[in-house]
Amino acid sequence: MSGDVSAQTNLPVRAPASGRERRSRGKPDLPPKTRRTPPQWNYVGYRETPEVVDGVVRLIRAVGKRIATEDPEALELLRCLEAEISVAWRVAVAGQRRAGFSDREIADALAVTRPAVTQRWPRAAEEPLGDPERDAESDGDRHHFDREGAR
């Protein structure tokens, strides 16, 4: 038995109608194909900021538990994490200011006073933000720690 339907039914094979032929035969046009993007929660490559923070918090806690069972020299790793958090604060506050938020608005979000924001993250210390992709690649080994304590 052949897979060809026209051979089985003795009906002529007809090519599919183009849009023009479809309209001329009185049949309604099919709706245009639209490109659908998947919802964000199904897109594996995208994470909301709170989800990323939750993951980082879990990692930091795990690092603390691991370091708790190691030699005291491993505490330097926590100091490196602390330094990176400090950099993240400076970048975040500088970015908020560039986006137009005032020190008062930043202070309100952090439940501190405006002078506290100004003192902790002075405007003179702000550096222009670079390329995040390049910075992530170049800074990845900045705080590499080996057993002899050398970086």
User: pTM of the entire structure?
Assistant: 0.55
Residue 134 — very low, low, confident or very high, per pLDDT cuts 50/70/90?
very low
130 or 35: which leads in pLDDT:
35
Domain interval for residue 109: 46-133
* Minimum mean pLDDT range among 18-27, 41-50, 104-113, 137-146: 137-146
Is position 148 within any domain?
Answer: no
Q: Answer whether residue 4 shows pLDDT above 70.
A: no
Is position 33 within any domain?
Answer: no
Is position 55 within any domain?
Answer: yes
DSSP 67-95: HHTS-GGGHHHHHHHHHHHHHHHHHHHHH
| 6-15, 118-127, 138-147 — most confident range | 118-127
Is position 8 within any domain?
Answer: no
Is position 85 within any domain?
Answer: yes
DSSP the chain: --S-HHHHHTPPP-PPP-HHHHHHTTPPPPPPP-PPPPPGGG-TT---HHHHHHHHHHHHHHHHHHHHTS-GGGHHHHHHHHHHHHHHHHHHHHHHHHTT--HHHHHHHHTS-HHHHHHHS-GGG------HHHHHHHHTTTT---TTS--
Is position 87 within any domain?
Answer: yes
The predicted-structure confidence for 48-57, as pLDDT tens digits, reads as follows 899 999 999 9
* Total residues belonging to the chain: 151
CA–CA dist 28, 63 (Å, integer): 63
